[in-house]
Structure 1
């Protein structure tokens, strides 16, 4: 079930929702129900709030922001923890003032004042927090919109959620939620709080510290199965297995083997995992993805032009974008660097390049075997070693000094294009 928790109106936008759904679709994380939007369930939250007020477990609070700040200042001055002082909470024998005119109330949950909240966390083990450490939570704002901690309890109750896995920054929210569940006499789900993910600098990942959108990884040539595989291993393990399919992930995951320590984002490990899938996915699909990558660079080519070439380069690539980087040379001018030209295309090798061009021009079959023979004849005539000839050819034809075996690379070029690029020498 996909639930969109959008009651924080300032932060929840349609664009952010669209990104969530696009990312889940890309990753293949399908859902059976939803999306369900909390802002479309306001009538349900209101009904539950009225129930809590009627039962005495919630109440209206008319304290203004100025009242609350003065209260906190006084508490700080006394060296106390800043907690709401329950001034508007109805209690036996307590007389409340008349509600002030023009002040819209918030609704607060009447949290138990004594006792402990204890749960057996699925990741961290037993956790106990005393009720004196938490105050009366606002569950409905002045504008009538419920807060996160209240809305998720009602949703989890209505939607029969059995397990809640979330980041450990939510540990402090859990006592409130458990107390609300109990006030509603609703069944408690099991809670598990997962450690945060650290960046490669050892600090918490954030948008300011290198974290990027899931769809940016898609745009940069990562495969959904590679990303899922890598993400699953951040904080979870299945023996020594590093590579596994989504089906295996579903089969193996039972809520156990979750790490209590923060995982560290490792771009090199992600590339290694993704490279495995680049090497092993169907080449027709791989070609489609390369075509899309080339289109992003303004290069319009067909799958039939790309597919014969992907097998030659895919073992060298961690991403589809890297594979597209290799194939660009077939569809754009070579543009070798001045340094490569000066270092490799020298007067000593130019005669051999002319001989090779003549041998290649004479070929009736444009294939690896014929090219290998042309290269051997050129080496025999020039007295050069293969690296002395192959590197200059790569620089002129491919625009780079390093490639897979030269005959296999040249085979995928148009014959006329190879001869034109060799003439530059």
Structure 2
């Protein structure tokens, strides 16, 4: 019987959740959920100078927004320092570690005299203890090779004579990151470590700790990093790099999950898929070895598809969450009632939530409608006169699209004009903008009384 799958995401709380970290978390979440396993969260907060509660909360908020739930409570790496020290001393006792008394100056001098070679401590095989201040180093094998059977990269071989005896415990008794990670992953029962390929060299060193303790190695899967469109490592010059920035730009969380899943992983030619499909399809074999490239056009395409597929209730919830996150007032019942009739049309064209809200501007504003500079040019005396005639022609209760179109057409033809000539001032009167949904869709969504009131405000 195979072990149940346990994955983890282990961010350092030193800033916002990077989009690369978000993708790593997603891959771990998909693999665990797709295999009926557990997805754990560990906060690697041993760097006390840079770790902050605010950064921790920002990471948790980012994961919540992305829709990635974790099992159990987040584990603090810092809180487990005694356990890390216990294992280091256990390795010291069984001969897999040793006390090193070399000073920083001595180490620097050795490296200067032996360039391009890993540090070899003179204390590795000594038993004398000159003073109380020392670090505990792993007694790593110096001959042969350490092979990482990586689920993405294949077998990766490291010569042991190129790896130094890494420090497990510092002279103040605090654990190093490399040591703490292994102890935590073992104690948490992690079976699969899915992380960026910048940790591949770390895997060789960490595997030596697993071997020294007689612990079963987890499955390693090192995924390529995300690059910008120019093929270089992703940075702020390429655009947004924090997950919170994508939320602020109005990409729905489900669209981000779809897009991030496709950044470096593939299931045939499928580009657009649901969460259920992603959980069912995701496997480590589908992860490529080449760096993925962030592409905003593809993201917009994915986002637009997901917006178009949402039912109205979900979309209204997304809009409410977006407005709240951007300190915008909640939609009123009147605004929602105006939105509902036209939501199906708006979501077919919108690529982001703010783009949809921009098209829904007419439904969110109240009288008197203020026209922008471009739209105001459509309200000349002739146009205002046509609006006055149309207002008079619509003083009945038969408020249907056919009736509205026919009335507008009749007024325009009476002036020897086409329907488009009355549509422009209509847009201005109803929305105050030149780019809007169909004027008749807006009139139907606003309802008879509100639409006529807006026309009367601008009529000549």
Post-superposition offset of 1:253 = 2.0
The verdict on how the C-alpha distance between 1:72 and 1:357 changes in structure 2, with shifts beyond 3 A counting, is farther
The correspondence for 1:411, drawn from 444, 451, 455, is 444
Post-superposition offset of 1:144 = 2.7
Post-superposition offset of 1:38 = 1.4
Q: List gaps (5 residues or longer) in structure 2.
A: 1-39
1:26-82 deviation per Cα after TM superposition (whole angstroms, max 9, x unaligned): 22222223312212222211111111111222223333333333333333xxxx215
Partner of 2:331: 301
The correspondence for 1:270, drawn from 296, 299, 309, is 299
- Contact 1:294–1:324 (CA under 8 A) maintained in structure 2: no
1:400 has 2:433 as partner: yes
TM-score by length of 2: 0.82
Post-superposition offset of 1:143 = 3.5
Post-superposition offset of 1:216 = 3.1
Post-superposition offset of 1:372 = 1.8
Partner of 1:317: 350
Tell me, in whole angstroms, the C-alpha distance in 2 between the residues paired with 1:318 and 1:44.
50
1:98 has 2:133 as partner: no
The correspondence for 2:101, drawn from 36, 56, 62, is 62
1:203 has 2:232 as partner: yes
Partner of 2:16: none
1:326 has 2:365 as partner: no
Partner of 1:356: 390
CA RMSD of aligned residues (A): 2.4
1:306-328 deviation per Cα after TM superposition (whole angstroms, max 9, x unaligned): 24142231111112222122223
- Contact 1:223–1:274 (CA under 8 A) maintained in structure 2: yes
Post-superposition offset of 1:126 = 1.6
Tell me, in whole angstroms, the C-alpha distance in 1 between the residues paired with 2:344 and 2:44.
44
Give the alignment of 1:113-128 within 5 angstroms. 113-128=142-157
Tell me, in whole angstroms, the C-alpha distance in 2 between the residues paired with 1:98 and 1:9.
31
1:125-174 deviation per Cα after TM superposition (whole angstroms, max 9, x unaligned): 12111011111112223343322221121122222222211111011111
Partner of 1:337: 372
- Contact 1:60–1:88 (CA under 8 A) maintained in structure 2: yes
- Contact 1:112–1:131 (CA under 8 A) maintained in structure 2: yes
1:192-230 deviation per Cα after TM superposition (whole angstroms, max 9, x unaligned): 111110123322123564343323323332222111111
Q: How many corresponding residue pairs? A: 412
Post-superposition offset of 1:303 = 4.7
1:84 has 2:119 as partner: yes
Q: Which runs of 4+ in 1 moved over 6 A?
A: none
TM-score by length of 1: 0.88
Post-superposition offset of 1:181 = 0.7
